[in-house]
Amino acid sequence: MSAKPVTLSARMLHLRQANLGMVGKLLVVTCLMFGFGYAMVPMYKSICKALGINVLSLTERDIPGVSAKMRPNTQVDLSRTISVEFDANARGVWEFKPEVRSLQVHPGQLTTVMYEFRNTQNRTMAAQAIPSYAPKQATAHFNKLQCFCFNEYILKPGETKRWPVVFVIDPQLPKDVTTITLSYTFFEVGGKVPAAPKGGV
């Protein structure tokens, strides 16, 4: 009659030891994951430095509303200058225009241009912009990091907004391309009221 309790006790002891072993393994895995995550940043910086890659986050760029020091970008091709022209087309009763018509930029150089929008109607309107590029081969090399064209927005009657486009031209842009035209078409759409984009006034 005494063998049964002994067997049950042995099983419980074995189960307890197994649970403690599992807890120990989980603690080791957790510590390893924490250590790996902690080491990721210096490892990433070391790899980028060794490979000559200089990737800066947006918080380290000179973007409206961000007060961070601008770090030099070693990937800027100072031997080339690209003329970027900005065009704005409005389908409907909008005032829509870039604050500058053209800029001279180097491939790899972070650049910001502001666009201004005004709803001239006496009603609230939802709208969105669609970009296009000329020449077509420039499309794959024109990288927008921030753009009002990513979402649709609501403008109240008579409301004016200023929104940025932050872009970098890939240094791999074909050598024969010296001028790029960025054209936006701004048109009315139906939609919900979204949050204002960064840099909005």
Question: Is residue 162 over pLDDT 80?
Answer: yes
Q: What pairing do the DSSP bridges indicate for beta strands 125-134 and 179-189?
A: antiparallel
pLDDT of residue 201: 56
Both tokens of residue 87? 């065009």
CB 135 within 8 A of CB 142: no
Residue 40 reports pLDDT greater than 70: no
How confident is the model over 133-141, as a mean pLDDT?
A: 92
> Mean pLDDT of all residues in the chain?
76
SS3 labels along the chain: CCHHHHHHHHHHHHHHHHHHHHHHHHHHHHHHHHHHHHHHHHHHHHHHHHHCCCCCCHHHCCCCCCCCCCCCCCCCCCCCCEEEEEEEEEECCEEEEECCCEEEECCCCCEEEEEEEEECCCCCEEEEEEEEEECHHHHHHEEEEECHHHCCEEECCCCEEEEEEEEEECCCCCCCCCEEEEEEEEEEECCCCCCCCCCCC
Q: Which residue has the higher pLDDT, 183 or 56?
A: 183
Q: Is the pLDDT of residue 198 over 50?
A: yes
The answer on pLDDT for 165 being more than 90 is yes
pLDDT at residue 55 greater than cutoff 80: no
**CB atoms near residue 17 (< 10 Å):** 10
In this prediction the pTM is 0.58
pLDDT at 36 over 50: yes
Q: Averaged over 140-152, what is the pLDDT?
A: 90
Cα–Cα nearest to 64, from 196, 200, 199, 201: 199
Above 80 in pLDDT, residue 38?
A: no
Rounded Cα distance between 26 and 20, Å, is 10
Q: What is the pLDDT of residues 82-120, one digit of tens each?
A: 999 999 887 767 788 999 999 999 999 999 999 998 888
